[in-house]
Structure 1
Amino acid sequence: MAIKQSLKLKLAVFFTALGWMSQLHAQNWTLTEASIISFDIKTVGLSAVKGVSNQPDSRLFFDINLPENSSVQLILPASTLKFSNDALRPMILGENFFDAAQFKNVTFKSTEFRQHAVGHYWVAGELTLRGIIKPITFDVVLKPNAANAKLLDINASGSINRSDFGMKRSYADVGDKVNIQLIGQWQPK
């Protein structure tokens, strides 16, 4: 009898936690301050330029039970970017690259959120850079944070070609491909 009651109690706790987790995930989230968006441009296999920002305006609606109903939007002020070589800042934020004086923000808005494995998603959307909108798909891993169940860890990566956004194609042998990454945590909003 005691075993039956213990099993019932364990099942009740499990289903309550499962319900709590699904409610937790079917809500709006924002990135923590420790999260970073970065990009790097390679030349001859080496990272020539790396930029990082931890100040995006972010919103994620995520439903673990219906991930196809999820969406994400990021707005990154170009002025918040920090570079591996600060001497490159005027050139990269200048008119040949970001043209940050005219185009203050880089934005991403999802159009599709598709699960391809447990905790792994393809997130397609529109990236706006220099006033030009182009499609991009990110490979995203979302999972509960091991130390804090109220956080979702994120690791997202994708790539674009600079020339697709009107940036000089070959400036000082800097490559055309730009790798973009988001690493951090989402917290309930």
Structure 2
Amino acid sequence: MLFSTVEVHAQMPSYQFAKNGHVGFYIKKFAIKVLQAEFQQVDSRIDFDATHLAQSHISFVMKVESLKLSNDALHDMVLGPDVFNVQQYKEIIFESTEIQPVGEYHYNVLGNLTIKGKTKPVIFETDIIPTANNNHFTFKANTQIESHNFAMKSKFGSLTEHVNIFVDGELTLK
């Protein structure tokens, strides 16, 4: 996956994802993953300091056309007009608005998610765990959205009613 990072706050430590990072989604039906997908191109900005959460900021821009699916037979449907409509909407964007501490190394990252031109508030349950030298962090985040909130439809009806979004990887000091 290709990640890039942009620094905004000069005084705030900025991090970038290591090359083994993952941003994607999966859909479960009856506790079985029926589809998993991962974005191969993600631009990210992570300005994070656990002691200054009000100034911390997390954002991701996923390039829709870079989506790799676990089931290639669904590729055209998922990128087509009913689900992501890649012809009209090239990016999915998440911008944090607040980071709340919930426990040691555990945060609720509140923000706005934009899919198909529709922006809705979401909360990512997030773990940001420092390594021994504090220059690296393990980063895991997930949330669930309702696809109808983003005008995403499927020929399979309720198959895509709930979509689980995940971010997983290692952050390194930029």
| Superposed pair shares fold, TM > 0.5 | yes
Aligned pairs, number: 164
Structure with the higher strand share, 1 or 2 = 2
Q: How does 1:24-43 map to 2 (within 5 A)?
A: 26-43=12-29
Once the two structures are TM-superposed, the CA of residue 173 in structure 1 deviates from its matched residue by 4.8
- What residue number does 1:161 align with? 146
Tell me, yes or no, if the aligned pair for 2:136 and 2:172 is still in contact at 8 Å: yes
Within the candidate set 12, 24, 47, 2:33 is matched to 47
Tell me the SS of whatever aligns to 1:98.
Answer: coil
Q: 1:130: how far off?
A: 0.4
Structure-2 separation of matches of 1:170 and 1:85: 15
The answer to whether the aligner puts 1:81 opposite 2:62 as a matched pair is no
**Aligned counterpart for 1:66 among listed residues 52, 57, 74:** 52
Q: Distance in 1 between matches of 2:80 and 2:70?
A: 16
State the partner residue of 2:167.
182
Which is richer in helix?
A: 1
Matched, 1:126 2:112: yes
**CA deviation profile, 1:136-181 (whole Å, cap 9, x unmatched):** 00000001235x6421110101010111100116625514000111
> Identical aligned pairs, as a percentage?
30
Q: What SS is found at the alignment partner of 2:65?
A: helix
Provide structure 1 residue ranges, at least 5 long, that are not aligned to the other structure.
Answer: 1-24
1:66 shift after superposition: 1.6
Normalised by the length of structure 2, the TM-score is: 0.87
Q: Distance in 2 between matches of 1:61 and 1:124?
A: 15
Task: Tell me the distance in 2 between the aligned counterparts of 1:112 and 1:52.
Answer: 25
Write out per-residue CA displacement over residues 2-58 of structure 1, whole angstroms, 9 at most, x where no aligned residue.
Answer: xxxxxxxxxxxxxxxxxxxxxxx9411121221001211122322111101242100
Whether 1:137 aligns to 2:123 is: yes
**How do 1:6-21 residues align onto structure 2 when only pairs under 5 Å count?**
none
TM-score (norm 1): 0.81
Q: What is the DSSP-based 3-state SS (H/G/I as helix, E as strand, rest coil) of the residue aligned with 1:110? A: strand
CA RMSD of aligned residues (A): 1.8
**Structure 2 residues without counterparts, runs of 5 or longer:** 1-10
